Structure 1
Amino acid sequence: MANNVDNDITVELEGHVAIVEIHRPPNNFFDYELIRAIADTYEMLDADDNCRAVVLCSEGKHFCAGADFSARESWGQTQLDAQAGQLYREAARVFSARKPVIAAIQGAAVGGGLGLACSADHRITCAEARFSANFARLAFHQGFGLSVTLPRLVGETQASLLLLTGRRVSGADAVAIGLADQLVPQGEVRAAAQALAAEVASSGPLAVQSIRATLRGGLAEAVVKATEHELAEQSRLRKTRDFGEGIKAMSERRPPVFTGE
């Protein structure tokens, strides 16, 4: 089965494994429409008994290098808040999916892109990949439920370190701290993700869904609650001079100079 969900997402079923691929190369920036398309795809696959596991991957250099800021430059505060609220509601749908998801991280998983990676059950990566919750370097608050998912994966102390510094983590270090599960050569990331998904799919499908629901019990609800708080903090910090400086410095590829205003 091959299916174009929209211009940005394709789905192909190989055996009992669905390959869900994002097509926004090279950076695969996300926005509301992309997250909604992923959520719609997961719902479609939940209803397909032939699908027992999912691989989430991206075309091009990076898995997902963060949010697409280009369309937001002319938006006002009210529109920004409304769009972010809609996006996080779709993110909650992503977390509510019933089939196991293996993410193939071949490049950058940054900001909300890291949040998307953390929505998966497991992550396969390579030495060239980089993971970063870079929000503090933009004078911003984390989003996409990372307040819940990051501590769940790496522990409270490590999550605090990653969020407060915004530092980059290599693929090898991501595996070492529990942010990713397996390190393979860059050209083998997707194949390794498919192999793991196929191994999961070879187990009893009803048992797999039951076990997964137990292990992730309450996660979707916790993400909903977390994103409500994240959205409120993002709305507050978006009005600061430091946030403007963070975005400007990022676009100019220079270190930010924050003043606490």
Structure 2
Amino acid sequence: MSYQCIIYEKKEAVAKITLNRPEVLNAFNRQMLREILQALEDAEKDNKIRVVVITGKGRAFCVGLDLKFAREELKSSKDHQDITHLGDLRRIENLSKPVIAAVNGLCLAGGFEIMLAADLVIAAEDAQIGDQHMRYGLFGAGGSPYRLPLIVGIRKAKEIIFTGKWLSGKEAEQIGLVNLAVPNSILENATDELAAELAEKSPVAMRISKAFINRAVQVDGDMRVEFAIMSAIVNNSSEDYQEGIRAFNEKRKPVFKGK
């Protein structure tokens, strides 16, 4: 099929998904989410594919939700579930094949959550990585509150989420948030080398190992997701949430009232 918001390529044993809305820093809308899921399903079903790579086109990996999409299209509680892009993240996490995130630039909010759902991450040293939801009164139901502590520990996760601070790729490597940080000029080559190394391994052992590791660190994953959705619905019904969206669009600091 043809794709409008991503580039989907397959070369030998590696499938590559490139988020392709560089004019909005690869912010995702419903169409992009749908295409990511379709590409993941294709990679899952293709027995020749052993590794999946996700990256971004241009100067960003992904800056999260396209707020024009949020403002104009999301009206119902069901839509609130849609914007958490939980389907994509759970599919990345549950894919039987390893997923590598190649973080080439800005990686914020929902883009940060995509990165967290990947199995391995290689980042450009000068990439800017952060959760950012808290800056605008948002709740990161897509994964930050429950995936991030598993990766960097509870205290560091709280610091990153509560402050909304950005980290460089190099800083992210130092705290174990990414596996490797390299100069941007060699990011693609470094990713290709890692993908080739993984592709040489037994697909059966890889599938079983990934599933077991994920299962071992998750306590009732379904309940976790349901709680995240409920939390997002409550938060997204608040005046502070609306103020955060307005402030972002108006490029100003939000004024929160605790309502």
Length-normalised TM-score, structure 1: 0.89
Indicate which of 74, 79, 84 corresponds to 2:80: 84
SS at match of 2:129: strand
Specify the alignment match of 1:216 in structure 2. Answer: 214
Specify the alignment match of 2:128 in structure 1. Answer: 130
Whichever residue aligns with residue 257 of structure 2, its letter is T
The answer to whether structure 1 residue 13 and structure 2 residue 10 are counterparts is yes
Correspondence list, 1:164-183, <5 A: 164-183=162-181
The answer to whether structure 1 residue 24 and structure 2 residue 21 are counterparts is yes
Indicate which of 229, 236, 245 corresponds to 2:227: 229
Specify the alignment match of 2:51 in structure 1. Answer: 53
SS at match of 1:143: coil
Partners of 1:5 and 1:37 within 8 A in 2: no
Q: 1:36 offset after TM fit, Å?
A: 2.8
> Partners of 2:101 and 2:251 in 1: how far apart?
28
Q: 1:42 offset after TM fit, Å?
A: 1.6
Q: 1:53 offset after TM fit, Å?
A: 0.8
| Alignment length (residue pairs) | 256
Q: 1:220 offset after TM fit, Å?
A: 8.2
SS at match of 2:7: strand
SS at match of 1:49: coil
The answer to whether structure 1 residue 37 and structure 2 residue 35 are counterparts is yes
SS at match of 1:44: helix
Gaps of 5+ in 2: none
Query: After superposition, what is the alpha-carbon deviation per residue over 1:208-254, rounded to whole angstroms, capped at 9, x for unaligned?
Result: 22222221226788554333222222222223222222222222333
Q: 1:167 offset after TM fit, Å?
A: 1.1
Partners of 1:175 and 1:182 within 8 A in 2: yes
Q: Which one is further off, 120-129 or 236-245?
A: 236-245
Query: After superposition, what is the alpha-carbon deviation per residue over 1:160-183, rounded to whole angstroms, capped at 9, x for unaligned?
Result: 111111111111111111111111
> Partners of 1:223 and 1:64 in 2: how far apart?
25
Gaps of 5+ in 1: none
Specify the alignment match of 2:71 in structure 1. Answer: 73
SS at match of 1:167: coil
Indicate which of 87, 99, 102 corresponds to 2:100: 102
Distance 1:221 1:108, change over 3 A: farther
SS at match of 1:216: helix
Q: Which one is further off, 83-92 or 54-63?
A: 83-92
Specify the alignment match of 2:60 in structure 1. Answer: 62
Query: After superposition, what is the alpha-carbon deviation per residue over 1:137-158, rounded to whole angstroms, capped at 9, x for unaligned?
Result: 1112112122221111111111
Whichever residue aligns with residue 153 of structure 2, its letter is G
Partners of 1:23 and 1:59 within 8 A in 2: yes
Q: Which one is further off, 243-252 or 97-106?
A: 243-252
Query: After superposition, what is the alpha-carbon deviation per residue over 1:27-73, rounded to whole angstroms, capped at 9, x for unaligned?
Result: 11113332232222122112212111111111111000010110232
Distance 1:247 1:213, change over 3 A: same
Specify the alignment match of 1:258 in structure 2. Answer: 256
